[in-house]
Structure 1
Amino acid sequence: MKTLILALTYTVTAHASEIRNILFIVSDDLKASVLGCYGDTVVRTPNIDKLASRGMVFEHAYCQAVWCAPSRASFMAGQYTPRQDAIGMGEFFREQDIFSARVGKIYHMRVPGDTVAGTDGADHPDDWDVKINAQGLEAHTPGLYALLNTDIETTEMQGRQSTGTKHRMFVTVKSDDTSGADQPDYKAASSAIALLNKHKDKPFFLALGFVRPHYPSVAPKQYFDHYPLEQIKLPKLLPADLNDVPKEGRTGNHGLKNGISHHIENQKKMWQGYYATVEFMDVQLGRVLDELDRLGLRESTAIVFTSDHGYHLGEKELWEKYNLHEEVSRVPLIISAPGYPPGRSTSCVELIDIYPTVTTLAGLPAPSHTDGYSLTPILKDPTHALRAAAYSYYAKGHALRSENSSLLSFPSGDCLYDMRKDPHQFYNLATNPEYRPQLESMQRKLQEKLTTLSPPPIEKRKK
């Protein structure tokens, strides 16, 4: 573990009191590894990459819950498991007489369900002075519809998989509307721009939630064209890769069960749809950031960009989320704050750290109820460490990720991965005598963490 003593090697040229505004941007189901600033060479994310060049990129940021509803509730409360004393992030700003607004999905909303209906989902009204939902037709957007696990393509509107249907996560739609103006993320960006103009003269906390790249993969057709199938390489697979994982850790949507494993070309089309929607979301983010610059607000606004969790796109033959492997637990986290230098940090951080970070940046008293740490020391010095490892959970499983090791712990056994040699977590080293000291060290750290927590919630997955 790095030293916890702050090395004053970076000069901060602005004080937190000069940051008047917070722009908090949350993408949906976005894995860190798919972004250009995190090393992907195929995707087009110029706006996120530009934001990264002006901010701190956290290489080892992890969600606490690996599915939507509890993850969002956790980071909005700044607690591993939101307790009765929790005051939501937006409500905290309202209590300081700072305008607080939500556009799009921040707390959990069903996608596509609440997106189609334009409903609030599991929102917390006390967090907001203004809330705006962004509707869209989703799978019923006019255009070429595909259900890729059953190898269906059609322009017909009838029979499309949508809210509550079994295979909705394998839907792509190449929208006929090339402007994208009918899409929820376009509408969310437009509403955010309107709010920036209306409230630019006083401090604000604006939470902007995009729904892409969450399924269905809907975007104007030209975005799909940017990713020819012949340029897409599928993840490396090992035979029986999950055999050395305890039964509780094999959770997720397996390709052999849902059928997508039988359609290699369609697996590439899943990646194509994911890339297309990531790029479309990036374009909408760019519209908002450009307006922030045009209004002269960049020098008084701290920007946070993240996602609720990552996503499987065929790694280990798994799709979606709902397990503790790296593709799901690791998330992008970029913080661009006036006066703080850009950089990259390999220190382990958690999404619950966002709450105390933005309040500190805004010069507000630290909220006493949060479990996280303010990341401002790392914004000053990327080598600074606040914790030895980051914690995530799912059902009966727990994960602990240090800079070099990953421990997945379940009632029937553990997995240990050497992330320097095996970043894709192919080889479980828990029974390897050479790694016994490392295993025991990680197990002790996990037990220390668990003694400080209330039991994490075990929720049934809601369709």
Structure 2
Amino acid sequence: MKLQVALTILFGGFVAGSPLFADSAQIKNVLFIISDDLKASVLGCYGDQVCQTPNLDKLASRGMVFNHAYCQGTWCAPSRQSFMFSRYQGKGDLNLGQHFKEQGYYSARVGKIYHMRVPGDIIAGTDGEDVASSWTERFNSSGQEAHTPGDYACLNLNIFTDELEGRQSTKMPHRMFVSVEYDGDGSDQPDHKSATKAIELLQQHKEDPFFLAVGLVRPHYPMVAPRQYFEPYPWQQIQMPPSVENDLDDIPKLGWAGTRNAVNEIGKHPENQKRMWTAYYAAVTFMDEQVGRILDELDRLGLRDNTAIVFTSDHGYHLGEHTFWQKSNLHEEVLRVPMIMSVPGLKPGRTNAMVELTDIYPTLSELAGLEIPEEVQGKSLVPVLKDPDKTVRKAAISIHNGLAIRTAKWAYIRYNDSSQELYDMEQDPSQFTNVVSAVENREIVSELDGMMNQISKQKDIQIGKKK
């Protein structure tokens, strides 16, 4: 230990895995797995009684489950940039993969970590908006996506066919409602290829300190999976999310999703709304199986005892809640993401601490004994990993057409036009009743507004501007 620290001081850097934080669990490796468009509420370990996610449920039983993890960007590009740089907006000078690489780790990307167009970059096998400085090596996983031969559906247009011609694909307006159910074992799919490559890299670098980031693209549309993954979820048995009459009346227009029943053909096809859930569940279960393949190999190689595992998603997703579809708004189904951290030497558990995706970077840095760069805006979650009753922040912030702030009790949204929403998440977790105008809530609105302004100033968050 003394030799490692001495070498660190002598050479002005950090020896991979050096115990600079004596009270932290020490790790040699990092396995960082990111799903795409995955809402927390759909996983078994987060309470879903329908979706089959045995591998993530097993990981949850061996790690810390964060009940209240929130994204900072509400769609792929800003969210992924945010957690890779631990910045609310914009890029810093040192990203997460680069930080580990510069401290002697083999750093590799498999699949989508920074933003890639799905399906465009997946079909082409291209890098998207990847940041090359992050990686020692990087690998793309291509696939046919909507062009996979099989039973194709464009559910908002009520089209069902096995013809390959005329399918909605890259940059086409209805691609968000596409599913493909086909006969096969899934080995032709990008996520299966990513898992296979990740397994190869674990085998090749098992003796090296490594930072391995694996980006799985499902359940992002098009929701493509072999037939056997659809079969457990017959659409006739799907229960749509509860709804209330005139739900949008107390939601400001800037809070309305761009895709919703009133303005999209999906609103005319209630049965196809259920089929969207079937396809989403199928894609999630297929993704879960790929996570299991990677984790099983980690166990087989004997690497679990020195590898920190993080599983999360870039943001959540609407599947008919409030009549909304997709992402890019500031409501709970979009903002809340799954986050599971399994760290050698630390007990499994479940925490209600409020956390952000920005917190991943400093947490992994501390666990590995690396200095946390000053530019990082997230907070290390090591105290919470050691004691699930601990907290490191009072609230989580998310950005889209304004700001959302989430505390243990309240969800408060202030849009760029100064319109507002406030929800009591203890009494109204589905966010059906906007209580921002209630006289008895004036004090809490003022308090949350002040907290939002303080955080915005501290973190240099610019609303209505790109950074």
Task: Please give the TM-score of this superposition, normalised by the length of structure 1.
Answer: 0.94
Report the Cα offset of residue 239 of structure 1: 2.0
2:343 corresponding residue in structure 1: 337
Instruction: Check the 8 A contact 1:27/1:209 in 2, yes or no.
Output: yes
**What is the correspondence of 1:342-421 to structure 2 with a 5 Å cutoff?**
342-395=348-401, 397-410=402-415, 411-421=417-427
1:237 shift after superposition: 1.4
Aligned to 1:47: 55
Tell me how far apart the structure 2 counterparts of residues 453 and 55 of structure 1 sit (CA, whole Å): 30
Equivalence for 1:141:
148
> Quick one: distance in 1 between partners of 2:209 and 2:279?
38
Note if 1:447 corresponds to 2:453: yes
Q: Are 2:133 and 1:112 equivalent residues in the alignment?
A: no
Distance apart, 1:15 and its partner CA = 6.4
Say if 2:30 and 2:211, in contact at 8 Å, map to a contact too. yes
SS at match of 1:452: helix
Find the partner of 1:62 among 62, 70, 79. Answer: 70
Q: 1:237 to 1:184 in 2, by over 3 A?
A: same
Do residues 311 (structure 1) and 317 (structure 2) align? yes
The AA in structure 1 aligned to 2:312 is T
Q: List per-residue Cα deviations over 1:111-164 (Å, max 9, x = no partner).
A: 000000000000000110110000000000010000000111000000000000
Matches within 5 A, 1:271-286: 271-286=277-292
What is the CA–CA distance in structure 2 between the aligned matches of 1:65 and 1:263, rounded to whole Å? 30
The answer as to whether partners of 2:257 and 2:325 remain within 8 angstroms in 1 is: no
What is the CA-CA distance between 1:18 and the residue it aligns to? 3.6
Q: Is there any run of 5+ residues in structure 1 with no aligned partner, and where?
A: 1-13
- Structure 1 position 16, deviation (Å): 4.4
Cα distance in 1 for partners of 2:264, 2:252 equals: 21
Secondary structure of the equivalent of 1:257? coil
| Counterpart check, 1:92 vs 2:99 | yes
Question: Which stretch shifts more, 230-239 or 208-217?
Answer: 230-239
- Alpha-carbon offset, residue 451 of structure 1: 1.4
What is residue 167 of structure 1 aligned with on the other side? Answer: 174
SS of equivalent to 1:358: helix
Supply the distance in 2 between the matched residues of 1:294 and 1:108 (Cα, whole angstroms): 31
> Is the CA contact 1:360–1:376 (under 8 Å) kept in the aligned structure 2?
yes
Distance 2:323 2:58 in 1: 33
Q: Is the Cα–Cα contact under 8 Å of residues 81 and 457 in structure 1 kept in the other structure?
A: no
Q: CA deviation at 1:412?
A: 3.5
Residues 377 and 459 of structure 2 are in contact (CA less than 8 Å); yes or no, is this contact kept in structure 1? no
- 1:200-279 equivalence runs, <5 A: 200-279=206-285
Contact 2:456 2:462 in 1 (8 A): no
Tell me if structure 2 keeps the 8 A contact 1:224–1:272.
yes
Mapped to 1, the partners of 2:371 and 2:94 lie a distance apart of: 14
Note if contact 2:421-2:435 (Cα within 8 Å) is conserved in structure 1: yes
The residue identity in structure 2 corresponding to 1:286 is G
Q: Is the 8 A contact 1:91 1:128 kept in 2?
A: yes
Closer, same or farther in 2 for the Cα pair 1:336/1:201, shift >3 Å? same
1:198 aligns with 2:212: no
- Of 34, 53, 63, which aligns to 1:26? 34
Determine helix, strand or coil for the equivalent of 2:350.
strand
How far the C-alpha of 1:228 sits from its partner, in A, is 1.5
Q: Is the 8 A contact 2:88 2:461 kept in 1?
A: no
5+ unaligned residues in a row in structure 2: which ranges? 1-21
Supply the distance in 1 between the matched residues of 2:235 and 2:218 (Cα, whole angstroms).
21
* 1:400/1:407 contact within 8 Å kept: yes
Q: How far apart, in 1, do the equivalents of 2:122 and 2:24 lie?
A: 36
Look up the equivalent residue of 2:113 and give its one-letter code: I
Contact 1:247-1:412 within 8 A present in 2 as well: no
Whole-angstrom distance in 2 between the partners of 1:451 and 1:459: 15
Q: Which residue of 1 aligns with 2:11?
A: none
Aligned residue for 1:219, secondary structure, equals: strand
Q: Write out the 4+ residue segments of structure 1 that deviate beyond 3 Å after TM superposition.
A: 14-18, 455-460
1:368 and 1:297 map into 2 onto residues whose CA distance is 31
Tell me the residue number matched to 1:11. Answer: none
Paired residue type of 1:212: R
What is the alpha-carbon distance in structure 1 between the residues aligned to residue 90 and residue 346 of structure 2? 30
> Contact 2:75–2:315 (CA<8 Å) still a contact in 1?
yes
Conserved in 1, the CA contact under 8 Å of 2:40 and 2:337?
A: yes
Segment drifting more, 241-250 vs 193-202: 241-250
**Cα displacement (A) at 1:287:** 0.3
Alpha-carbon separation, structure 1, partners of 2:302 and 2:59 = 16
Query: Secondary structure in 2 aligned to 1:370?
Result: coil
Contact kept, 8 Å, 1:162 with 1:168, in 2: the verdict is yes
Q: 259-268 or 111-120: which moved more?
A: 259-268
Once the two structures are TM-superposed, the CA of residue 240 in structure 1 deviates from its matched residue by: 2.1
Cα-to-partner distance string for 1:29-82 (whole Å, 9 max, x where unaligned)? 000000000000000000000000111110110000101101000100011113
- The Cα of 1:251 is off from its aligned counterpart by 3.2
Residue in structure 2 matched with residue 80 of structure 1 by the alignment: 88
Task: Return the TM-score normalized by structure 2.
Answer: 0.93
Q: Aligned residues, how many? A: 444
Give distance in 1, aligned partners of 2:325 and 2:258: 7
SS at structure 1 position matched to 2:459: coil
CA contact (8 A) 1:77 1:88 kept: yes
Identity over aligned pairs, percent: 56
